[in-house]
A = this chain, B = another copy of it.
Amino acid sequence: MGEFELLARVRERLPEPGTQVWLGSGDDAAVTVPEGATATSVDALVEGVHFRRDRASLAQIGHKALAAALSDLAAMGAEPGEAYVVLGVPKDLDEDGCIELLDGIGSLATATGTTLAGGDITRSAELILAVTVVGHGPISEAFITRDGARPGDALVLTGELGGAAAGHLLLERPGLADGLPEAVAGALCRRQLTPHPRLRAGRALAATGATAMIDLSDGLGGDARHLAERSSVGLRIDASALPLADGLAETAELAGCDPLALAVTGGEDYELLAALPPAQIEKAAQALRDADGTRLTAIGEVVAGSGVEIRLPGGELLEPLGFDQLA
């Protein structure tokens, strides 16, 4: 497989570039004309660390790499713009395999209005995907950073927690799925394999007054701590308010682990955690329903101080495992 031939095949399959893209793939660089401010993020997935080829199809791996990168744009409230993809291709992945992988990226790009504007393909020992995404907004201040949460703000969360972690368990221990309705097990596995970045929800939260926002890639426990640290505030989360994915409780029981711990420490849900004034909660929830039906749940509050407390119904604190211990 020659790099140039593969690149030519890839370029043929790219959807039409977006209006801000003046020159797409095929030159020394892509040329775009951003009409305001840009948010840029980069995310890498490595075989054996972030995925296994015997658990996910190549298209799913491609989808997830772009989804993880776009999720950072969702957390800024940005409009997705361009993506640049580095592919490290091991010897046992042929040209058709590369195309399947890039088709997985391309499908999500098309679905989200993202232009694949460039990339690089190289040999490597293991399969690697590094995706840079550029999102757009009218002005810098329109993006929601992690550092604007203020005491008195409410904490809200999109969607449900723990689905990706439950899906991971089901994929690791296939026998577990026998104890679940097929549709439920399938949905949980999809949460793990092909997560969807909350782009519309992120923009709706930005438009309705979110003061700080972060996406949950490492798990609520760890990511909430990042938001608290950057905003120099404390966060109090009500464990009983946490929206849990359908089938999480059953999967946890079958696997012999605590559903709440899974929900709080399991990463890769790619939901959004935001702070916003309590008076805005209902408006924000309505905006999310209007945007794409995503559910919004108030799960706690921002307080003066530091750290993250997750309080159980009985009043005692949940001590979530950190990201480091889990990984």
Give the B-binding residues of A (Cβ under 8 A): 2, 4, 22-23, 26-34, 36-46, 48-50, 72-73, 75-76, 78, 82, 84-86, 88, 117-120, 122-126, 128, 130, 132, 134-135, 139-140, 143, 145-147, 213-215, 230, 323-324
Contact = CB atoms under 8 A, between A and B. Distances in A.
27 contacts: A27-B145, A27-B146, A28-B75, A28-B213, A29-B40, A29-B73, A29-B76, A29-B78, A30-B39, A31-B76, A33-B37, A34-B38, A38-B38, A40-B82, A40-B132, A42-B84, A42-B85, A42-B86, A43-B120, A46-B88, A46-B123, A48-B125, A86-B86, A125-B125, A125-B126, A126-B126, A132-B132
B33 A135 contact: no
Given A76-B29, A215-B28, A40 B118 contact: yes
Contacts of A84: 40-42, 132
Given A42-B132, A84-B132, A118-B40, A123 B32 contact: no
Given A123-B46, A124-B46, A130-B86, A146 B28 contact: yes
Which of A78, A130, A140, A145 has its CB near the most chain B CB atoms (within 10 A)? A130
Copies of the polypeptide in the assembly: 2
A223 B121 CA distance: 17
A103 B88 CA distance: 24
A262 to B, nearest CB: 22
Given A34-B34, A38-B34, A82-B40, A147 B88 contact: no
A146 B36 CA distance: 27
Nearest to A126: B125
B44 A88 contact: yes
A78 to B, nearest CB: 7
A19 to B, nearest CB: 12
A114 to B, nearest CB: 14
A114 B166 CA distance: 43
A224 to B, nearest CB: 14
A264 to B, nearest CB: 18
